[in-house]
Structure 1
Amino acid sequence: MEIKSLLENINYNILSGLDDVEINSVQYDSRKVKSGDIFFAIEGFNVDGHKFINKAIDNGAKVIVVQKSVEYVEGITYISVEDSRKALALAASSYYGHPSRKMKIIGVTGTNGKTTSVFMLKAILEEKGYKVGLIGTIANYIGKTEIHTDKTTPESLELQGLFQEMVENGVDYCVMEVSSHSLDLHRVYGIEFAEGIFTNLTQDHLDFHKTFENYFNAKAKLFSMSKNSIINIDDTYGKRLVEMVKENITTYSLLKDSDLKAYNLNLHSRGIGFTLNHQGQEIVIQLSIPGKYNVYNALGCIGVALNEGVDLYTIKNALEKVTVPGRCEIVTLNNHLDFDVIVDYSHTPDSLENILKNVREFTPGRLICVFGCGGDRDRTKRPIMGGIGTELSDFAIITSDNPRTEDPFSIIEEIRAGVKKNNYEMIENRREAIKRAMCIAANGDIIVIAGKGHETYQILKDKTIDFDERKVVAEIIKELEL
């Protein structure tokens, strides 16, 4: 592919060489460069790609795209752009033949609810007969085929490659979680979204964004790229977003007048029911996932589905069957225990508060919570979560999550700094913490293991170990002969 075709929608300047050079592939990681490739030097969050230009040239790159001044190597074409991340996103789209234009893209952003929402959307669209791709935290899917993922939203080059794979496999819709990082780092730059959902905004990722206002502005970028916007107006920032977007908006709420409103909520131990009235048509939906916040998630997805021409009864049938790994997932359904264990991915103050408040509503006995906080992430939320985890539980066990490079005991101490009650223990080993909770659980109790959800690993300082909490609970049941 010629450079000038690859960069057709990008403002650029040739610093050295010509723009009719043929390139083989596009890369931003110097280690992956091969002979005849173009290398985009990206100024990253931790590493600056401009430092690896010579490595890329040694590996065979013959075209280098930069946004800074660099020393030239003879025989290499150098191209300058204003923002190499944006340029990479547009070039990746060109390289793969603009695959996002060949299917409809639906994006979901917000602090909580993204994963549940994309699974709900996938179920609804498949119920209607469409082939659906999914990009998210748990995994990526092309139809029924699961593909492992390391990031909520892949880098733009990998994202466009995944889009192309979906197009080749006949996908009609791609539903995707759109993280604030991906919006700020331009991984989805240049994509037109048919629909964008805003779920909510609560404290998270301030280690990256620094301020809440920056965090909100990052999320808001999705809606300048979306044809239609579906917004939760019970959220303060959702109301602000409505004022910013102004047109092609569908609002949803449990509390306020809105385009979509749920009422007559009926929470029970295996799900939640609600009534929806849409344009005079009333329908009762029974979700198989408990928790009031899942009604919010369902409303956002209903708004998208209606915009896309899906009828209410198809929506109802799909929502009543959908399940989401690691989101308020009861992992003791097939056991004859006198207590239940729920695994949930709640790893922010708001999500921990939500899961505990919702589980409390259907807990006949004690509510026991096992939780921690990840290392190398926002430290300001640790004492907040310590207060929430102990205040809203009858008993809490503070433990490790993914400590990464940090000392797990130091993380636990920072969590404990927010605790005001004396209803907790600290057990650093997560498996032992779960076992302790199961040993003290009695008839009617519910244990919530919060923080890791669907994850099947634990990241320690020097290694990553297998750690699937569904399996851990099953092993402990056998050990204790419960």
Structure 2
Amino acid sequence: MRLDTLLERLEYKVVQGSAETEVTTLINDSRKVENGSVFVCISGAVSDGHKYAAEVAEKGAAAVVVEKDVEVPADVTVIKVEDTRYALALMSAAYFGYPAEKLKIVGITGTKGKTTTTYMIKSILEETGHKVGLIGTIEAIIGEKKIPAANTTPESYTIHQYFAEMVKEGCDCVVMEVSSQGLMLHRTAGIPFEIGIFTNLGRDHIGPNEHKDFEDYKRCKGLLFKQCRLGIANVDDKYFEDVFSGATCKVETFGFSEKADLRAENVQLVSRPGYLGVAYHVAGVMDFDVEIDIPGTFSVYNSLTAISVCRHFEVPAELIKDALKKAKVKGRIEMVKVSDDFTLMIDYAHNAMSLESLLTTLKEYHPKRLVCLFGCGGNRSRDRRFEMGEVSGRLADLTIITSDNPRFEEPQAIIDDIKTGIGRTNGKYVEICDRKEAIKYAISHGEVGDVIVLAGKGHEDYQEIKGVKYPMDERVLIAEVLEELKEEKQEKDQNK
């Protein structure tokens, strides 16, 4: 293909060579360059692609796309653009034949609720015969294929590669999580979103490798609503108007407020042994009753979001109700049956905001005891540990402090930081560094009416220690613990 075909939607300057140069592949990883490639030099947080311009030229690259001056042989075409990340996004769309234009794309942004809502929407749309692709924090789903995710929103090249595969698989729509990082780094630039969704905004993802401050975080969330046809927003969120201040799309709202176009009324908590859920009446632009097998107020928000979207796909209310009963997300308030006496669940809550939301929700069900087991990741903000410790100490009846992904830190040092946070409260706690032993303690000490939550790992099936990811799935650990407890009981009974 000709280079100018890939550049057709960009403003650019030919520094040397010709835009009519024939190219074979579009690459932004210098290790993958081959003869005839066009290499896009990305200025990343870790390394700068411009440093590899001469190296890729030696490997046979036919062209380089840059935003800084580089020195390469005269037979290599040099194209200069204002922003190479933005260029990569639009060039990727062209490279794969603009697959996004053959799909209806729903993008979801917000601090919480993105993952659960994507699966809910996928579940509902599939009930009505749509073939739905998914891109998110846990995985990308293309037909029967599931690809584990490295980032919530992948690099633009990968997104369009997925879109092209989805079109080939017969998908007619896609639901994807759109992170503030993805928006800031132009990973979603040029995608014609049919619907953009705003769930909520909390003070997260602010730091040296993420957003410089909360204003920047807020601004980046708002970028989605400058490139979608319809924006659907949580009207109850206090930052709703800020996020939508520069929106160019049509706007609809959902929430509990009377102002919401689609709202929840008469919310009732549903509790049975081993089961927690919520039921409510959908009012406003739709009118029906619904029950969801996931507890709490945020489940109401997540399901309202999904209903708001599916209304625009003309899904009947009865199908929405059936589909919401089936929608399950790995590691998001995932109930695991271990006893008829108490409820145990796995959840990804890994910061103070999500943990507080989860524990506050579970307390509304008035468990005999609320037991929270969690650790914190190493090489991350220590403030997060203090905050999570304080939240669990304040809200849980018992906290079991354990290890998460210690990375390059000592697990005990992380535990000590969590204890500092709990120390600000009157909360009871035990510390058991080995996560499996901690889970065993939680299950073996479970009492009638307890709700036990294993927080922080969620869908993850590994534990990262000193640069190595070791297999560790909490579902497997629970099964092993139950088997061990069964064997110990049998042995005890024999020795009586």
Could you say whether these structures have the same fold, taking a TM-score greater than 0.5 normalized by the shorter chain as the test?
yes
Q: 1:464 aligns with which of 469, 472, 485?
A: 469
- Aligned pairs for 1:103-252 within 5 A: 103-207=103-207, 208-245=210-247, 248-252=250-254
1:99 aligned partner: 99
| Structure 1 stretch displaced more, 347-356 or 66-75 | 66-75
Query: In the TM superposition, what is the alpha-carbon distance from 1:275 to its structure 2 partner?
Result: 0.5
Q: Deviations over 1:244-302 (max 9, x none)?
A: 437511111124421011011111233111101234x5311011112210110111111
Contact 1:371 1:389 in 2 (8 A): no
**Does structure 2 conserve the Cα–Cα contact (< 8 Å) formed by 1:195 and 1:304?**
yes
Q: Which residue identity does 1:200 align to in structure 2?
A: N
Work out the CA distance in 2 between the residues paired with 1:135 and 1:324. 14
Deviation at 1:380, TM superposition (A): 3.1
SS of equivalent to 2:433? coil
Q: Distance in 2 between the 1:48 and 1:375 partners?
A: 26
Match status 1:409 vs 2:409: no
Give the corresponding residue for 2:379.
376
Q: TM-score, normalised by structure 1?
A: 0.95
* Residue 307 (structure 2) pairs with residue 302 (structure 1): yes
- Matching of residue 278 in structure 1 with residue 280 in structure 2: no
1:196-241 CA-to-partner distances (Å, cap 9, x unmatched) read 1111111221121131111111111111111111101111112333
Q: Is 1:479 aligned with 2:484?
A: yes
Residues 142, 400 of structure 1: alpha-carbon distance in 2 compared, 3 angstrom cutoff: same
Distance in 1 (CA, whole Å) between partners of 2:463 and 2:233 is: 34
> What residue is the counterpart of 1:330 in the other structure?
335
| 1:396 and 1:423 in contact (8 A); partners too | yes
1:102 CA displacement: 0.5
Give the letter aligned to residue 184 of structure 1. Answer: M
Q: Give secondary structure in 1 for the equivalent of 2:197.
A: strand
Residue 389, structure 1, aligned to residue 395, structure 2: no
Q: How many angstroms does 1:243 deviate by?
A: 4.3
The SS at the match of 1:236 is coil
Q: Which of residues 326, 331, 339 is equivalent to 1:321?
A: 326
Distance 1:204 1:410 in 2: 23
Take 1:337 and 1:163, find their aligned partners in 2: how far apart are those partners?
45
Cα shift at 1:337:
4.6
Deviation (angstroms), 1:34? 1.2
Distance (whole Å) between structure 1 residues aligned to residue 116 and residue 262 of structure 2: 18
Once the 2 structures are TM-superposed, how far is the Cα of residue 364 of structure 1 from its aligned partner?
3.0
CA distance, structure 2, for counterparts of residue 292 and residue 443 of structure 1:
25
Gaps of 5+ in 2: 490-496
Amino acid at match of 2:404: D
Aligned-residue CA RMSD in angstroms? Answer: 1.7
The residue aligned with 2:267 is 265
Query: Among residues 448, 452, 465, which one is paired with 2:453 in the alignment?
Result: 448
How far apart, in 1, do the equivalents of 2:365 and 2:248 lie? 39
CA deviation profile, 1:403-422 (whole Å, cap 9, x unmatched): 22333333333333322224
- Structure 1 runs not aligned, ≥5 long: none
Count of paired positions = 479
Partner letter of residue 176 of structure 2?
M
The residue type paired with residue 283 of structure 2 is N
Within 5 Å, give how 1:50-65 maps onto structure 2.
Answer: 50-65=50-65
- Per the alignment, residue 347 of structure 2 pairs with 344
Q: Is the 8 A contact 2:267 2:280 kept in 1?
A: yes
TM-score with structure 2 setting the length:
0.93
Note if contact 1:17-1:76 (Cα within 8 Å) is conserved in structure 2.
yes
Cα 1:468–1:47, aligned 2, differ >3 Å: closer, same or farther?
Answer: same
311, 317, 329: which one aligns with 1:312: 317
